[in-house]
Structure 1
Amino acid sequence: MKPFLKVTSVLIAIFIVCHPVTSAPFRTDHLAVELVAERTGLVPGETNTVAVRMEMDDHWHTYWENPGDSGLAAQIDWTLPEGVTAGPIQWPAPQWIELFGLVSYAYEGEIFLLVDLEVADQLASTESVKLSAQVDFLICKEACIPGAAAVSLQLPVAHAFENSKWKSDFDASRNAQPQKILDWDMKVVDNGKSFALTVAAPKGKDFAGRDVVYFSRDGWVAPSKPRTSLAEDRILTLVLPKTEYEPDTDKNRFQGVLTSSIPWDEAGEFSILEVNLPFSENDTVATWVAGVAGNPEGTSVAFVEEGEPSSLLAILGFAFLGGMLLNLMPCVFPVLSIKVLDFVQRAGEDSLKIKAHGSVFTFGVLISFWVLAAAFLGLRAAGEEIGWGFHMQSPGFVAIITSILFLFGLNLSGVFEIGEAVTGTGSQLQTKPGYSGSFFSGVLATLVATPCTAPFLGTAVGAIAAMSSIEAFLTFTAIALGVSAPYLFLSFFPALIQRMPRPGAWMETFKKALAFLLYASAVWLAWVFGSQVGVTGMALLLMALVLLGVGAWVYGNWGNLIKKRQTRLIAFCVTLIFMFLSGYLQFFAAGLSGPAAVSSADLSSADYPGITWDNYSAESVASFTSNGKTVYVDFTATWCLTCQVNKKVAFGNDQVIQYFEDNGIVALKGDWTKRDPLITRELQRFGRNGVPTNVIYRPDGSSHLLPEVLTPGIVLEALKNGAEG
């Protein structure tokens, strides 16, 4: 009988050691909380790890140690036996959760909050101890519910084994802790209203395809204010806005975590980097970045915010050259034709007057770009994800500019005249455009130029995302001066204008011929409008243009100065009525959305029968590249004429189509016709802030950014070079 009792006692002891006694999980309507152990017992003299396990219902969340804009982190109040002490919570990296314009650093699903317990040597090995804790928490969805859970765990004090039930969860939680990986170097600069965190990748690695998010542990970074990032080869710079209040944390160090969509380490285990840095000076960081980039002269650090004059000068130079080249882009052809006509009309005029008109035109361009700069910076400060040509993402703006171009066309066609005056005894009509016409030409040049991009311009516009407001304003000014430079040059060298044909009867025919360029632009913009609001909306816009045309016809026939005053007044009132009806239809059409709207990919699919384009998403890129596929992404918009030319010239080429087919290239189209924050962030990651942007993503994690203007040779060379490398 005694041997039986001994065996039974041993079996009971083994069972107790292998199966720690836990209380039932605490359960609320949306959350379950329990205390679990990594091992089956407490080992004296060693560090033993336990965890508060929290499992939330779908779409409910609890908070990280810094909850973000709102929320409350979980707190644990321990009741422990003598000889056992608890360390701090080991917080895994949180998720970025955005709700009602506020950003929370939080957890969804299941989390394990690890805590190390130090167990004294003298704790008797025969004892079984009870670990108790009260967990205070806040759980939220649209509404938030505070709560408290009393949980406990009974563990023997003895040699222990791994608790197989929870082993993988403890391992996963440890891997989600921030790690110190020495190969990745970092520095941070305090720029007053923002921090510039610069990360340098080790040799052989870069930031291509890597989605990096910073979570502030110390609370100094404002969660919901707009952030900008700029990646170039081995360097990533994050511009992080400061919070409006001062947290009660160490002001001498910058603390947080960096999460990455691609693991930081070679083994592919750790995706969280610890950030705990002293602050550096801009000059120090610029020199360090230049050294990492392999440029000891320090002349290529345009992506480091504030502090390197040569980099700003380089960006301004690119902006000026890009602005000049915009005049050669298809967007600007309609306004270019108007300016050509204007120069022809001025052949033989006084040189001072020609210079004055050129200066007024330049002033119109500058004022327009400054207004765009103010809108851009204001929207950026309000948290909007925007980029070059952002105004063309508004259907209402597209409708307005379509109407303006259509009216310009009607004016050139002679349907109505602006600026008529009665002169001479024979009451002959003469056109006197005046300085207002030159100013408005500058405004119109700006509005139709910004949907396009050009060589050099992409680099300059991309850098705006990481610039201070003053630097961004200077960059917009440089682009404006570049756009207006050719016209200003001709104005100040009138000898060139004198070589143009003298004004004569032929100009009337020439003027009416130029009107068709404006009509073609209006058709293109109507197509853009249709891609934003649908076919019904496009039909309403076309009807609005008809009403606008009727109003212009009435004004042209009965509103001119040779008619009686009463006739002119009636014509003016009728014109206003038609303009009002046209405006109402445009306003109504601009508000349409939903199933009727068609994406640019849908509208243009028939143009590219040889290449099948699917919709872009970061998940699609990651999925295809992980399966060994090369992915070609065309970030485009229907309002971007350079994009449309690229498609016709490059993607309509038989050799390009055949190469895509033979090599299994996956073609994705990122449609930026309407505002898309995810695409905006991806553009900024490549140093771009507008379209066209074309990127090749490869299976090895590398990527290749193509120039703005494409040819079949450029596309094929980029694809083949990567395949050979």
Structure 2
Amino acid sequence: MSAGRHAARLLLALAALLIGAPVLAQSTQDLLPVTEAYKLSADPAEPGVLKLHWTIAPDYYLYRGRMKFTGGEGISLGEAQLPDGEKHHDEYLGDVETYHHTVDARIPYTAVAGTTRLTLAVQYQGCHEVDPKICYPPHTEKLDLALPAGAAAAPAAAADAGFGATLQALGGNRGAGAAGDALPAEQAFRFEALATARDRLLLRWSMPKGYYLYRDQTTLKVVDAPALQLTPAWPPGTAHHDEHYGDVTVYFDQVEVPVGVNGDLGSRRQLTLQASFQGCQQGGICYPVMSRSVTVTMGSEVAAGGSGKDAATPPAAKDPAPEPAMSLWWALLLALGGGLVLNLMPCVLPVLSIKAVSVLESGESPARARSHALMYTAGVLASFAIIGVAIVALRSAGHALGWGAQLQQPLVVAALACIMFAVGLSMSGVVQFGASLGNTGAALANRSGPAGDFFTGVLAVVVASPCTAPFMGSALAYAFAAPVAYALAVFLMLGLGLSLPFLLVGFVPSLARRLPRPGAWMETLKQVLAFPMYLTAVWLAWVLAQQRGADAIGLLLVAMVLLAMTLWWFERSRHRGLASKLLVLVLLVLTAVPLFYLGKVQRPTAAAAATPGVVAYTPARLAELRQAGTPVFVDMTADWCVTCKANEHAVLDTEAFRALLAKTGAVYMKGDWTDVNPTIAAFLQQYHSPGVPLYVVFPKGGGEGRQLPTVLTRGLVERALLDASR
């Protein structure tokens, strides 16, 4: 269990203390040593059969499927005969069988002629099932017993440890596991390299079940061009405590790593890549450091390094969009229109509630209306400028960052949820920031200052990022590929479009005069507009649940309760002494503590259930489908992307779309960018997409994929799939 999950549960326990729930400390000091919890005895009296017996202490159990038996020198073991265990669903291992109290095993064996000792390794694993609930690591006992008279001898055969002994000598015996069952290194760790663009590679390691790869024991270099620098973007792995390396990150099953190639490639069409890496068999041996060399034709081929030889597979998709063809002026016009339409998107509307109230509060004062408009615009433009500079800087350094990428960070999502919750409490009247509450237009007009208007503009930009308005996608794509000055101009024009309605209200008196007169009725309106804020906080909490699961939601709820307590006491302490105001600071610090631990919560390890009719995106699977001549509809999406969800509801998650897939023989492939995913980021970068949604339709006969607009219609998708199936 990760440190983040421990921290999450600790903080939830602390929250329970606030309402008086006692928390009992549990100590692991009373746990039995593994050999006392599971006492193993052996009976070799019967020739050809070894009987094993475990006496299991109360409140402990053994896993049936975690037992392994390995014969020593001159001993060949048959299949172990074990009784059926009790059915049990394990949090990590799934459906398993377990034993309580006692268990007996019978293991048939044969011995090579001349063998005098019955030697074998017995591996087993079990858990303590009451508090403190822990599982022991796999434990191995070496047995050395006298062979009974008349034990059957096997035909003469080589009685050496073979490949397993060699691996143990080279990589070190882990003290647990059946080394003789270990696969050769070429089969245990298959290595491939795919060129996805002129300056980008995708590396892939594939391991059978029970094998893992170390992240930090991997080095990469270009053999025939040492001046080139390789920058891998490793995806999140599995936290693992290693007896040699300490706390490390490892990968099971398969890992795909996008790699940037930095430097002057010149006229080179091929690169020879050397990868050195190390991995282990879970509960078994560790392999020595392995090196594989592969030759990759940049932008066109796959090289397989399973045995250190080159092996080409069908061509990869070519880069479909080298440079944006539109002019700067056209991009600026699209950006202005996209920013203007962004005001109507559902993710921006809650923040516009704040701005609408502040504009109404300005009443008949032209100076006040202009101040609101200018400070709000300043906040919007400053935020867009910072986003533009950050994206340009990170992309020039070889990192992938897209529109809305900040919502891939769980801490940002949680902080935004708390901000929306706090704004909602303010609009509901729980707390007032600024002047005291009044019932007249004069009191309302004095409540918000320039800083509040500026912050509202910043908040509008932050929450606008999950939305992509029509015209906006093309403008952002231009900005992501254009020179720095042009890119910043596009981002600033997006900001101008977003703030344009309020600029018009502030600087066109005839429009301002059409606004309702301020009065006591506005307090009711303000309280009503608090509910979109609460709904936005709920939506952000849902996004967080998709990213980090129930532990993160528990921490967020604790933070929200503490935040509500902070704001409540802040309002009560206005006319109190210094001690009351210091308590506000203490409560504010306590509010930040759950958010701090939330950043340490890891993504849930359990895989989500597959959606019927949807294939998860991987470059390898896409290449296989294209090689087979299958049309493919690729959908890059994210849970925080409002435009993605709207397209799914209107077009993609419908019976008509599923019928269209069946009619055209197309495969629906989906990539989830809710969390950081370098593989999907590489695909987005390949198509010069500023973020999600990205829709690409690959035709049946091969060739380049067709990129669709970010806002879909049924007719548009139908035409694209019919064309792709011809």
Match of residue 449 from structure 1 = 464
The answer for the alignment partner of 1:330 in structure 2 is 346
Question: Quick one: structure 1 residues 574 and 660, their matched pair in 2 at CA, closer, same or farther if it must change by over 3 Å?
Answer: farther
The alpha carbon displacement at 1:525 in A equals: 0.6
Q: Following the alignment from structure 2 to structure 1, what is the Cα–Cα distance between the partners of residues 564 and 476?
A: 37
Kindly indicate whether the alpha-carbon contact (under 8 Å) linking 1:531 and 1:597 is maintained by their aligned counterparts in 2.
no
Among candidates 586, 589, 592, match of residue 595 of structure 2: 586
Task: State how far apart, in whole Å, the 1-side matches of 2:443 and 2:487 are.
Answer: 50
Matched, 1:554 2:569: yes
> Structure 2: which 5+ residue stretches go unaligned?
1-165, 169-183, 207-215, 234-259, 271-296, 303-310
2:324 aligns with one of 303, 306, 310: 303
Distance in 2 separating the partners of 1:650 and 1:450: 22
The CA distance in 2 between the partners of 1:711 and 1:442, in whole Å, is: 32
Structure 1 CA distance for aligned equivalents of residues 218 and 450 of structure 2? 59
- CA offset at residue 519 of structure 1? 0.6
Question: d(CA) in 2 for partners of 1:143 and 1:467?
Answer: 35
1:645 has 2:676 as partner: no
Match of 1:320 in 2: 336
Whether the 8 Å contact between 1:630 and 1:697 is mirrored in structure 2 is: yes
- Preserved contact between residue 104 and residue 223 of structure 1 (Cα < 8 Å): no
Quote the offset at 1:635 in angstroms: 0.8
The 8 Å contact of residues 331 and 451 in structure 1, kept in 2 or not, is answered as yes
Match for 1:526 among 522, 534, 541? 541
Number of the residue aligned with 1:595: 604
Label 1:105 to 1:516 Cα distance change in 2 as closer, same or farther (>3 A): closer
Equivalents in 2 of 1:469, 1:224: separation in Å? Answer: 23
What is the deviation of 1:518? 0.7
- CA distance in 2 between partners of 1:584 and 1:437 (Å): 26
**Shift in alpha-carbon separation, 1:593–1:365, aligned structure 2, 3 A:** same
State which of 524, 544, 554 in structure 2 corresponds to 1:509.
524
The one-letter code matched in structure 1 to 2:433 is I
Q: 1:594 to 1:721 in 2, by over 3 A?
A: same
The answer on whether the counterparts of 2:548 and 2:603 sit within 8 Å (CA) in structure 1 is yes
Inter-partner Cα distance in structure 2 for 1:144 and 1:657: 45
Corresponding residue number in structure 2 for 1:706:
708
> Where in structure 2 are the equivalents of 1:286-301 lying within 5 Å?
none
- Classify 1:549/1:56 alpha carbon distance in 2 versus 1 (closer, same or farther; 3 Å): closer
> How many Å apart are 1:444 and its aligned residue?
0.5
Which residue, out of 360, 377, 386, partners 1:362?
377
Structure 2 residue 392 is matched with structure 1 residue 392: no
Deviation at 1:576, TM superposition (A): 2.5
Match of 2:13 in 1: none
* 2:720 corresponding residue in structure 1: 718
- Residues 221-267 of structure 1 show CA distances to partners (whole Å, capped at 9, x for unaligned) of 654399xxxxxxxxxxxx98546xxx9xxxxx64444534469xxxx
Structure-to-structure mapping, 1:83-94, within 5 angstroms: none
CA distance in structure 2 between the aligned counterparts of 1:670 and 1:418, rounded to whole angstroms? 43
Matches within 5 A, 1:320-469: 320-349=336-365, 351-420=366-435, 431-469=446-484
Residue of structure 1 equivalent to 2:560? 545
Q: CA deviation at 1:96?
A: 6.9
* SS of the residue 1:583 aligns to: helix
Report if aligned partners of 1:386, 1:675 keep a CA contact under 8 Å in 2. Answer: no
AA aligned to 2:298 is T
1:330 alignment partner, SS class = coil
SS of corresponding position for 1:317: helix
In 2, Cα distance between equivalents of 1:638 and 1:106: 27
- Which of 574, 577, 581 is matched with 1:572 structurally? 581
Q: Secondary structure at the match of 1:484?
A: helix
Taking the aligned partners of 2:698 and 2:230, their CA distance within structure 1 comes to 30
Q: State the percentage of identical aligned residues.
A: 33
Tell me how far apart the structure 1 counterparts of residues 203 and 652 of structure 2 sit (CA, whole Å): 44
CA distance in 2, matches of 1:492, 1:428: 23
Are the aligned partners of 2:269 and 2:298 in contact in 1 as well (CA < 8 Å)? Answer: no
Whether contact under 8 Å (1:319, 1:475) holds in the other structure is yes
User: Do the aligned residues in 1 keep the contact of 2:644 with 2:693 (CA within 8 Å)?
Assistant: yes
Aligned residues between the structures: 472
8 Å CA contact 2:194–2:301 kept in 1: the answer is no
Distance of 2:200 and 2:694 partners within structure 1: 29
Does residue 618 (structure 1) correspond to residue 633 (structure 2)? The answer is no
CA distance in 2, matches of 1:104, 1:455: 32
1:301/1:103 CA distance change after superposition, 3 Å: closer
Report if aligned partners of 1:531, 1:598 keep a CA contact under 8 Å in 2. Answer: no
> How many angstroms does 1:413 deviate by?
0.6
Q: Is the 8 A contact 2:362 2:445 kept in 1?
A: no
Structure 2 length normalisation: TM-score?
Answer: 0.57
Cα distance, 1:433 vs. partner?
Answer: 0.4
Instruction: Note if contact 2:392-2:480 (Cα within 8 Å) is conserved in structure 1.
Output: no
1:296 corresponding residue in structure 2? none
**2:532 alignment partner AA:** L
Q: Which residue of 1 aligns with 2:20?
A: none
Deviations 1:503-538 (A, max 9, x none): 122211111111111111101111111111112111
Alpha-carbon distance in 2 for matches of 1:716, 1:633: 14
2:496 is aligned, of 481, 494, 506, to 481
Tell me what 1:627 maps to.
628
Aligned to 1:224: 231
Question: 1:408 touches 1:518 (CA, 8 Å); kept in 2?
Answer: yes
Q: Is the contact between residue 95 and residue 107 of structure 1 (CA under 8 Å) also seen in structure 2?
A: yes
Deviations, residues 533-591 of structure 1 (Å, cap 9, x unaligned): 112111221221122112112222x133xx3x31xx34433333332222111121222
Contact kept, 8 Å, 2:641 with 2:692, in 1: the verdict is yes
Q: Select the structure of larger CA radius of gyration.
A: 1
Q: Does 1:259 align with 2:298?
A: yes
Q: 1:695 Cα shift?
A: 2.0
- Does the 8 Å contact 2:342/2:464 carry over to 1? yes
Could you list the runs of 5+ residues in structure 1 that have no partner in the other structure? 1-27, 31-54, 63-93, 110-140, 147-214, 227-238, 248-252, 274-292, 294-299, 305-309, 606-610
**Aligned-pair Cα RMSD in Å:** 4.4
After superposition, the C-alpha distances for 1:602-628 in whole angstroms (9 at most, x for unaligned) are: 7xx6xxxxx633321122222233334
Q: Is the 8 A contact 1:633 1:669 kept in 2?
A: yes
Number of the residue aligned with 1:118: none
| Structure 1 residue 334 displacement after superposition | 0.8
- Tell me the CA shift for residue 362 of structure 1: 1.0
Matched residue of 2:481: which SS?
coil
Distance 1:446 1:533 in 2: 24
